[in-house]
Amino acid sequence: MIRYLLSRVRFGLAVMLVAATAGLSGCATREQGEVWDPLEVPNRFMFAINQTIDMFIVRPITVTYKFWVPEPVQRGVTNVVQNLGEPVTAINEVAQGEPSRAAQTVARFLVNTTLGVLGIFDVAKEFGIPPTKEDFGQTIAVWAKAPPEDGGPYLVLPLIGPSNARDAVGLLADYVIDPFRILTWQLDVEYLMYARAGVTLVDIRSRTMQALDDIEKNSVDYYSALRSAYTQRRVAEIRQKGAPQTASLALVASGRPELGFAR
C-alpha cells in the first residue's frame, strides 16, 4: 500500500511539473508580492483531496501518537528523522559552495549516529554543533541568483502539499541523491524507506498540528492562507541560509511533509 502511494506521489509530481512548465508560457501579470498561482483550480482540487486524506487517515493516527506516546519517545523519533536527513543536507551544502558547513553536518551525523544511538539523542548539539537544514530547492535558488520569491508557479502536490516549480524539482533531486534511499535499494530492504516516510510524516504532523489548526481557524480561505505561509517560510529559509533547523509548517493535507524522499 505504501509503495503504491509513493509511486502515485512520484507520478503526480511529474504530471504537476509538466503542467507547471506549460503554465510558464501563459503567465498572467500579477501584483508585486502576490504568489503566482496560474494553476489555482487544479491546485485547489488537489488540496481538497489532500485534506480528505489527512482528515480520515493521517490526523487520527497523529492524534493517537501525539497524546499516547510519551514525550521523550516522540523527541527521540524527531531526532532520528532529522538525523537521517543530515546526509542530504551535507550534499546540498557542498553544492551551495559551503564545504565547512557540510563538514559540520557530517560531523553531526557521525556523532549522533554513534554516540547518539542511531540519532535518538542529539549529542552533537550538546557538543556545540547545531543542526542545519538545506535542500535542493534552496540550492537551485542560490545558483539561480533570482529573488527567493520567484520559485515559479505555485503547486499543490499529491500527498505532499504546497510547493512550487523550483521546490518540486528540488524534491525530486533530494530523493535521487538521498544516500539512505540508495542504500535501502542496494540492499533490497526498500521497505525501510517506506517505514521512514510514514514515521516522518506522523512526526512532522504532530509537531505542526497546533500551528496548522490555528491557521485554519483564523483564516477565511485556508488554501490561500497556507499558500502565503508556505511561500513566506521558503523565502525565509532561502535568505537565512545555514540557520538552525526547525519543524516544517507543511503536511500532507496542508503543507509539504518531509517524507523519506523529501527534505
Q: In the numeric block, which cell numbers belong to residue 164?
A: 512550487
Query: Mean per-residue pLDDT for 236-241?
Result: 85
* Cα 110 to Cα 116: distance, rounded to the nearest angstrom: 9
Cβ distance 134 to 227 under 8 Å?
no
Cβ distance 105 to 90 under 8 Å?
yes
pLDDT tens digit string along 53-86?
999 999 999 999 999 999 999 999 999 999 999 9
pLDDT tens digit string along 208-219?
999 999 999 999
CA distances from 135 to 23, 35, 42 (A): 24, 21, 26
In order, the DSSP letters of 127-182 are: TT---B---HHHHHHHHH-S-TT--SSEEEETTTEEEEHHHHHHHHHHHHH-HHHH
Q: In the numeric block, which cell numbers belong to residue 96?
A: 551551495
pLDDT at res. 149:
85
Mean pLDDT, the chain, integer: 84
pLDDT at res. 227:
97
pLDDT at res. 148:
85
Q: In the numeric block, which cell numbers belong to residue 160?
A: 505532499
Burial of 107 (0-12, 13-18, 19+ CB in 10 A): middle
159 sits in the region (left: phi over 0; alpha: psi -120 to 50; else beta) called: left
3-state class of 244 per DSSP?
Answer: strand
Residue 254 reports pLDDT greater than 50: no
Burial 140-172 (b: 16+ CB within 10 A, else e): bbbeeeeebbebbbbbbbbbbbbbbbbbbbbbb
